Amino acid sequence: MSFTPIQTQEEFDRAIKERMDRLKGQYADYDELKAKAAKFDEAEEARKRELDKANGRIAELEAAARGREEADRLSALRSKVAEATGVPAELISGTDEDSMTESAEAISAFAKRTVPPAPNVGGAGAFAGEGASAGGAAEGFARDLDRALFGEGSE
Instruction: Return phi, psi of residue 50, to 5°.
Output: -65, -40
Alpha carbons 19 and 42: distance in angstroms, whole number? 36
- Tens of pLDDT, residue by residue over 30-73, are 888 999 999 999 999 999 999 999 999 999 999 999 999 999 99
**pLDDT at position 151:** 73
- 155 — pLDDT class (breaks 50, 70, 90): low
- Tens of pLDDT, residue by residue over 104-152, are 999 998 888 777 776 666 666 655 555 545 556 677 788 888 888 887 6
- pTM of the full predicted structure? 0.46
**pLDDT at position 136:** 64
pLDDT reading at 92 higher than 90: yes
End-to-end Cα distance, the chain:
151
**pLDDT at position 28:** 80
- 80 — pLDDT class (breaks 50, 70, 90): very high
If DSSP states are collapsed to H, E and C, what string results for 4-54? Answer: CCCCCHHHHHHHHHHHHHHHHHHCCCHHHHHHHHHHHHHHHHHHHHHHHHH
